[in-house]
Structure 1
């Protein structure tokens, strides 16, 4: 490992564990939802609420991130993330009633949402320019690893649950309770992180920022020159004024581009596969309750492998090219899956199509989204814009996770589309994502955050 980049890699890896919490917390419900629904006697809407309530927490955490990270700093926000996820793991495993379960699903979601608004910003601000894409890719890699890990935990618990009554009473508790382990680990690791130099400079703590910059990039690094360049981005004529908002004229193009990417990303349907994979496999007839857990592991492995590939190739191929190719293949695959479901086909070929979709989403759209948003956002509005973008990411996730069981259980839609309607909707969103990438998204590889921000502000 290049010693110049060694500290950047270490800090980025630690901060990216917030992504593991995201993956674990969001996907754990896939294995637990069937028995959880039986335990609480939930209908379709209640099942959707049990799944999507965590996404409501994601949205709340993402929105509050702009205030917490600005006031307390990136480091403290990440510590709070670990604390909230740890508590959620304990209390969702042992809730007094369904209301308490929902409350702590939301608490854990707030932690994950705060982490998702903070960790990419932190990584982007501490990583060296030449490895920034790879370092930011660690976040998506950890999301994928968290999803794979929780699928393995779910399968392990399900394999021990030979008694259906035990599974309904206790199995889901082990799945959800396992979340407290990575939550506690991240809480402890976050104490070791230094504060972001850019946040310190913004808060007039240049001496401390200079020391951290030299630790990151070596004692010979021109920390004072870097400080002066960063400070210049906080001396904008409109700084501190009401019109210095994310929709101010100079920021409008970059803000609308980022917000459009953020909203459409999860509307592409990834969470229908990740959250409801077990139910989906059973409904289309390619798995039983037991084998669905193992097919979820296949999906998790594909997602993780794709994320690892993205980490090692994002600097070679660039952000824009990967986004264009990935969004187009996602459009083709999810639409083809919808067509096969509409035709009533039952075949393992459908699992292969899902894997193609997962590989291209996990290797392009998923990781590049978390890389390019903090890169495109100018220093002056990065906290605010990242929070709004993350809020929209979770808004799309909430819409998909809440409506998927309702759409698949709609008698009218099933008569017309035979269960394929959600996948045609997701295909349309993938197509819109593709067009947005083609016409609005610039390349950010090998450029400093200040250079990118200046270009997007002028545009």
Structure 2
């Protein structure tokens, strides 16, 4: 590891653990949902609510992130993330009733949503310029690792006993309760992070910012020049704060581009695979209840491997090229899966198609989304734009997670499409994402945040 960037890697790796919480908290339901549904006797709508309620929390946390990170700072927001996730894990594992389960599932979602709005901003602002893309990739890598970790936990818990009664009563409790371990660990580690220099400069705490900039880049680095550049980017903006900034003439193009990227990302269907993977694999006839857990582990390994690849290749190939290739392959693979389901095909080739989809989403769209949004967002609206973008990311996730069981149980849609309709819908969104990349996304590789901010404002 380059010693010049050792501090950047260390701080960004700690902050990126917020992504692990996101991956763990969102994917844990894949193993727990069938037994949870049996325990509470849930119908299709309630099952969707048990899954999607956490996404509602994501949306609340993401939207509130702009106020919390701006007033309290990035560091305290990350500490709060760990606390809320730990609290949620304990109370969702031992709920008095389904209502209490939903309340604390939302609480955990608020923590994860806050972390998802804060961690990429913190990493983008504190990392040295030369390694910013790689360190922002840590966040997606940790999301993927969290997903893989929880799939392994789910498979381990499911293997403890073949008793269906035990599974209904207790297995989902262990799965959900395991979240308290990474949640508590992250809360403790976040307490040792320094504050973002850009936030400190915005709060007129330049001496503290200078010390942190030198610690990150080395004592020979000209921190005063960096501070002056950051201050100039702030001075060109109005001192008032209002909602029209995002869509003012100066920012309209970049804001609409980022918001469209955010909304379409999860409408591509990734959460149907990650949240309902066990049920999906069983429904299309390529897995039993037991083997579905292990096939989910294979999917988790593919997702993690893709994220690791992205971290090490993002600076070589750039953002835009990878987004175009990834979104095109996602469109082709998810559409082909829909065609095979429509034709009634049931073989392991379908699992291979799902893995291809996972590999390209996890290696391109997933990680680059979190890298390019904070890069494209101009300095003075980065907090708000990142919060709105994250809010829309979770809106898409909420739509998919709430409607997937409803679409798959629809008598009319099943008669017309034989269970394939959701995948054709996700394929159409992948196509829109591809066109957005081709015509509206610009490259951000090897540019400072201030340079990107100036270019986007001028555009």
Q: What TM-score does the superposition give when structure 2 sets the normalisation length?
A: 0.99
Q: CA deviation at 1:211?
A: 0.5
8 A Cα contact 1:55 1:395, kept in partner: yes
1:146 matched to 2:146: yes
2:377 match: 377
Does structure 1 retain, via aligned residues, the 8 Å contact 2:237–2:380?
no
The 2-side partners of 1:185 and 1:241 are apart by 36
The CA RMSD measured in Å over matched residues stands at 0.7
1: CA distance, partners of 2:189 / 2:266: 29
Match of 1:426 in 2: 426
Find the counterpart in structure 1 of residue 65 from structure 2: 65
Match of 2:403 in 1: 403
Q: Distance in 2 between matches of 1:383 and 1:55?
A: 20
Determine the C-alpha separation between the residues in 1 that align with 2:320 and 2:297: 30
Name the residue aligned to 1:367.
Answer: 367
Q: CA shift at 1:240, angstroms?
A: 1.8
Secondary structure in structure 2 of the residue aligned to 1:239: coil
Q: CA deviation at 1:161?
A: 2.9
Return the alpha-carbon distance in structure 1 between the equivalents of residues 440 and 392 of structure 2: 18
Structure 1 residue aligned with 2:349: 349
Alpha-carbon separation, structure 2, partners of 1:29 and 1:239: 44
Which whole-Å CA distance do the structure 1 matches of 2:5 and 2:46 have between them?
48
Query: CA–CA distance in 2 between the matches of 1:257 and 1:292?
Result: 38
Name the counterpart of 1:238: 238
Listed as ranges, the gaps of 5+ residues in structure 1 are: none
Aligned to 1:50: 50
2:314 and 2:215 map into 1 onto residues whose CA distance is 26
Question: CA offsets, 1:418-437, max 9 Å, x none?
Answer: 00000000000000000000
Matched-pair contact (CA < 8 Å) for 1:238–1:244: no
- Alpha-carbon distance in structure 1 between the residues aligned to 2:346 and 2:107: 39
Structure 2 Cα separation of the partners of residues 441 and 50 of structure 1: 36
* 1:242–1:277 distance in 2 versus 1, CA, 3 Å: closer
Deviation string 1:298-356 (CA, Å, 9 cap, x unpaired) is 00000000000000000000000000000000000000000000000001000000000
User: Structure 2: how far apart are the matches of 1:237 and 1:159?
Assistant: 58
Aligned partner of 1:389 in structure 2 is 389
2-structure distance, mates of 1:237, 1:270:
38
The alpha carbon displacement at 1:8 in A equals 0.3
Which position in structure 2 is the counterpart of 1:103? Answer: 103
1:233, distance to aligned residue in structure 2 (A): 1.0
How far did residue 238 of structure 1 move?
2.6
In 1, the alpha carbon distance for the partners of 2:339 and 2:299 equals 21
The alpha-carbon deviation at position 242 of structure 1 amounts to 3.6
- 3-state SS, counterpart of residue 412 of structure 1: helix
1:285 counterpart residue number: 285
Equivalent in the alignment of 1:458: 458
> Which residue in 2 is equivalent to 1:254?
254
Whole-Å separation in 1 of the counterparts to 2:115 and 2:300: 22
- Mark the CA change 1:110 to 1:206 in structure 2 (over 3 Å): closer, same or farther: same
In the other structure, the counterpart of 1:330 is 330
How far apart, CA to CA, are the structure 2 residues paired with 1:156 and 1:239?
54
- Corresponding residue for residue 33 of structure 1: 33
Distance (Å, rounded) in 2 between the aligned partners of 1:260 and 1:128: 28
In structure 2, the residue matched to 1:123 is 123
Distance 2:244 2:255 in 1: 12
Change (3 A) 1:378 1:42: same
- Contact kept in structure 2, 1:213 and 1:223, CA below 8 Å: yes
SS at match of 1:234: helix
C-alpha distance in 2 between matches for 1:425 and 1:183: 35
Which consecutive aligned stretches of 4+ in structure 1 deviate over 6 angstroms post-superposition?
none
- TM-score, normalising length from structure 1? 0.99
In the superposition, relative to structure 1, how do residues 124 and 237 fare at CA in structure 2: closer, same or farther (>3 Å)? Answer: closer
Aligned partners of 1:451, 1:72: CA distance in 2, in Å?
27
In 1, Cα distance between the equivalents of 2:89 and 2:156? 18
**Conserved in 1, the CA contact under 8 Å of 2:285 and 2:346?**
yes
Cα distance in 1 between the residues matched to 2:244 and 2:154: 47
Could you say which residue in structure 2 is the equivalent of 1:198? 198
Tell me whether 1:173 sits opposite 2:156 in the alignment.
no
Whether contact under 8 Å (1:239, 1:380) holds in the other structure is: no
Q: Take 2:201 and 2:418, find their aligned partners in 1: how far apart are those partners?
A: 57
Distance 1:5 1:262 in 2: 30
Task: Give the Å deviation of 1:3.
Answer: 1.2
Q: Which residue of 2 aligns with 1:266?
A: 266
User: Post-superposition shift, 1:244?
Assistant: 5.9
- Structure 2 residue 201 is matched with structure 1 residue 221: no
Aligned 8 A contact 2:337 2:350 in 1: yes
**Aligned residues of 1:60 and 1:113 also touching (Cα < 8 A):** yes
Partners of 1:161 and 1:171 within 8 A in 2: no
